[in-house]
């Protein structure tokens, strides 16, 4: 199975990003890629404007152009985009509600989107909405992004592929569940923020999730904006680069740097079966779930 990982710098221009995405799908397919993976937010970068104003449904022109191009070139593309979700209101306690509280005001009203991975194959279309929103370090993604409610595993030329987005990487159960459902490859588009310690966390978490699930992990990251002297600083919020492909045994097969580039890797899904036979951690996860938890309270 050949996978092309597109580490790009998205612009605050949906049409410009779409044109670039379509070219990458065509060139990836021409190079024999069965799967072309783009970053989270490839449609429109974070911190560049209101997401609800650029969001489009799956039957909108952005997604439809990608669907038609993937079908034309006989490949599967995974593209980060935003789709409309709902409107919520923040009450005096800070909680989000579907019904407006008294005197809610415009400042407490949020038109949310889904952080969506569009999956466009030669003969099918589906999508995954990011489940774990980035509510951490004082940031509340859930104010503007509605969490998804379902895991998604898709078939790419006979290989089961699980989907996750950026902050999902911190939740092992998500990957274990998809592996238990048959996934042998985990695709993780991301727009991981740069800053002190962030690259080390990214590398450790991607390797851990591959090992947790004994699966290939393919992480497609947004390139790091700005000049090289800013690398490692906390002022590149839309990406850190370092897209990576990790084997089911934890081996780091390929990794990019900070700048935009294309990473093409061939993987052997049958190797997953060999690893899982010799290292049956998925069976161990199942046993752990069946054991449950007993809590003894000592006065």
Residue 149 designated active-site: no
Residue-level length of the chain: 299
Per the residue annotation, which of 95, 130, 141, 200 is the catalytic one?
Answer: 130
Strands 252-255 and 244-246, sheet pairing: antiparallel
Euclidean distance between CA atoms 42 and 227, whole angstroms:
20
Euclidean distance between CA atoms 111 and 252, whole angstroms:
40
Euclidean distance between CA atoms 206 and 198, whole angstroms:
12
Widest pairwise Cα distance in the chain: 68
| 276 Cα distance to chain centroid | 24
Contacts of 284 (CB under 8 A, 6+ apart): none
Per the residue annotation, which of 157, 166, 286, 299 is the catalytic one?
Answer: 166
Q: Is residue 4 exposed (0-12), middle (13-18) or buried (19+ Cβ within 10 Å)?
A: buried
Residue 297 designated active-site: no
3-state secondary structure of 278: helix
Q: Is residue 128 exposed (0-12), middle (13-18) or buried (19+ Cβ within 10 Å)?
A: buried
Contacts of 182 (CB under 8 A, 6+ apart): 153, 160
Residue 166 designated active-site: yes
Contacts of 110 (CB under 8 A, 6+ apart): 87, 88, 89, 90, 96, 143, 144
Q: Any bridge partners for residue 163, and if so which?
A: 187
Per the residue annotation, which of 23, 40, 141, 204 is the catalytic one?
Answer: 40
Contacts of 254 (CB under 8 A, 6+ apart): 244, 245, 263, 265
> Is-contact 161 187, C-beta < 8 A?
yes
Active site residues: 40, 130, 166
């Amino acid at each position: 199975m050949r996978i092309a990982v597109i580490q790009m710098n998205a612009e605050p221009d949906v049409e410009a990003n779409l044109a670039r995405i379509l070219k990458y799908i065509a060139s990836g397919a021409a190079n024999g890629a069965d799967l072309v993976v783009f970053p989270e937010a490839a449609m429109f970068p974070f911190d560049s404007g209101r997401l609800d104003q650029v969001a489009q449904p799956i039957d909108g022109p952005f997604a439809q152009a990608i669907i038609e191009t993937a079908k034309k070139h006989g490949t599967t593309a995974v593209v980060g985009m935003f789709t409309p979700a709902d409107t919520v209101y923040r009450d005096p306690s800070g909680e989000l509600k579907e019904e407006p509280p008294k005197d809610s005001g415009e400042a407490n009203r949020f038109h949310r989107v889904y952080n969506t991975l569009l999956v466009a194959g030669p003969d099918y279309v589906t999508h995954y909405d990011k489940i774990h929103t980035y509510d951490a370090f004082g940031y509340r993604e859930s104010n503007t992004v509605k969490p998804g409610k379902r895991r998604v595993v898709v078939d790419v030329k006979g290989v089961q592929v699980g989907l996750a987005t950026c902050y999902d990487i911190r939740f092992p159960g998500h990957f274990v569940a998809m592996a238990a459902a048959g996934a042998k490859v985990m695709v993780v588009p991301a727009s991981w923020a740069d800053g002190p310690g962030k690259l080390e966390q990214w590398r450790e978490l991607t390797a851990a999730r591959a090992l947790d699930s004994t699966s290939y992990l393919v992480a497609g990251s947004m390139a790091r904006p700005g000049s090289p002297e800013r690398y490692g600083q906390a002022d590149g919020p839309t990406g850190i680069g370092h897209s990576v492909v990790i084997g089911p045994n934890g081996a780091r097969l390929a990794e990019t740097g900070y700048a935009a580039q294309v990473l093409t890797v061939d993987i052997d899904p049958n190797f997953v079966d060999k690893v899982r036979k010799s290292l049956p951690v998925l069976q161990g996860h199942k046993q752990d779930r069946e054991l449950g938890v007993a809590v003894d309270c000592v006065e």
